[in-house]
Chains A and B, each alone.
Chain A
Amino acid sequence: EPEVTQTPSHQVTQMGQEVILRCVPISNHLYFYWYRQILGQKVEFLVSFYNNEISEKSEIFDDQFSVERPDGSNFTLKIRSTKLEDSAMYFCASRPTGLGEQYFGPGTRLTVT
């Protein structure tokens, strides 16, 4: 069964560094999402992406964040200058249309020191 994959599974970075989290959505899916979960808290929506542009973003998704679909398979989340409070689990999700079930990846645990 096709699944969403994410790399790396765990990333450790120093404050102020740039990080890129990578996701490979399911191949025929057209809608892509990033979510964040700070340890012990609920999962929060960051951004949705369709047709090579952002459809919606939350107030968390400020100027330090960006998303890109650099080729036909990858979907990336870039954090320009990481802060300690960016430490969290980041989940990618995708689905074939704008409605229906979202398929989640296994997550990338980001630790900012």
Chain B
Amino acid sequence: GIQVEQSPPDLILQEGANSTLRCNFSDSVNNLQWFHQNPWGQLINLFYIPSGTKQNGRLSATTVVTERYSLLYISSSQTTDSGVYFCAVEDYNNDMRFGAGTRLTVKP
């Protein structure tokens, strides 16, 4: 099945800093989503982005299908951005697979 790798596994930032999270995938995909898992364990959908670029406030994401990666940008990070960020991809067999996540800690 499709492999999903996220980097870095852990990231510690000072409040106000910018960050880039990366998701590499091993095969063609027809769906890619970024999630933020909050302290209560809920998966908050950030972006549905099988290709192209999207922006939502301080967050933006880009997926480059030809090179099989996606990037999540967080600008002017806040303590409430802390948590685990997951990338999930779906191949043409409609199997959705999650990466292991990036744990982000934003310090005040």
Contact = CB atoms under 8 A, between A and B. Distances in A.
Interface of A: 33, 35, 37, 41-45, 48, 55-56, 89, 91, 98-104, 106-107, 109
A101 B42 CA distance: 17
A102 B33 contact: yes
Contacts of A48: 94
Q: Interface residues of A: mostly helix, strand, loop or mixed?
A: strand
B9 to A, nearest CB: 11
Contact of B31 (A41, A42, A89, A101): A101
Given A42-B99, A42-B100, A103-B45, A98 B86 contact: no
Contacts of A107: 41-43
A77 to B, nearest CB: 16
Interface residues of B, number: 22
Nearest to B32: A101
Given A42-B86, A43-B43, A102 B31 contact: yes
Contacts of A44: 98
B91 to A, nearest CB: 11
Contacts of B30: 99
Interface of B: 30-31, 33, 35, 40-43, 45, 48, 86, 88, 90, 93-101
Nearest to A101: B48
A90 B48 CA distance: 21
Contacts of A99: 30-31, 94
6 contacts: A48-B94, A98-B94, A101-B33, A101-B48, A102-B96, A106-B42
